[in-house]
Amino acid sequence: MSESEDIEFESEDISSEETGRDTTETDESTDDDSDHEEEDISRPWHDFLEEAWGDVEDKAENFIEESNEDDISQAREAAYSAVRSDMRRALQSRFVDFFQLAHEFKRDPVYKKIIETAQQARADDDMDYEEALVHATQKRALLFNRLIDQWQPVWADEEEEDSQ
């Protein structure tokens, strides 16, 4: 995997005190953000948004049920607006969780072996990124089997016994 395809997250720590701006809650677009408003949402962001929506969907549905709005599209618009800040927080949380997980994977020996195998396949067999990654996961099936063998599932009935 080349540096450009590797997951990197580098930024300077800039506090709101240094910038003079409140960075905790904002719905306003900056000039840089507005350049992207017309573009289609890319797959990873779509997936994150779907998951964030799942976190707030019940709240939005309750808002619709409790509204006195006869027009369902207006009720949905109002509900979406009402859960927007909750959805943003869910989206931000998922994004942070993803990068923390990616950071942990970078140090993981199984991940490293799979990525090394994918890099070798790209270099030696002229594979594209996805093809090399699929090849590497198939070639390193033993590593996945070891992970499965080490992991112990928690069965639903065991969870119920533990909570009693």
**Assigned domain for 54 exists:** yes
| Judgement on whether residues 79 and 113 belong to the same structural domain of the protein | no
Stretch 132-160: mean pLDDT: 92
More confident: 86 or 1: 86
Q: Please count the structural domains in the chain.
A: 2
- Which residue pairs, CB below 8 angstroms and at least 24 apart, start in 63-69? none
- Whether 76 and 93 map to the same domain: the answer is yes
Domain-ending residue, one of 84, 102, 120: 102
Residue 133: inside a domain, yes or no?
A: yes
Q: Beta strands of the chain (E only): which ranges?
A: none
Same domain, residue pair 55 and 97: yes
Q: Is the domain of 85 the same as that of 59?
A: yes
Where is pLDDT greater, at 21 or 55?
55
Q: What is the pLDDT of residues 86-107, one digit of tens each?
A: 999 999 999 999 999 999 999 9
* 30 occurs within a structural domain: no
Statement: residue 69 has pLDDT above 90: no
Q: Provide the domain limits for residue 70.
A: 43-102
- Residue whose entry in the numeric block shows the structure tokens 């409790």: 66
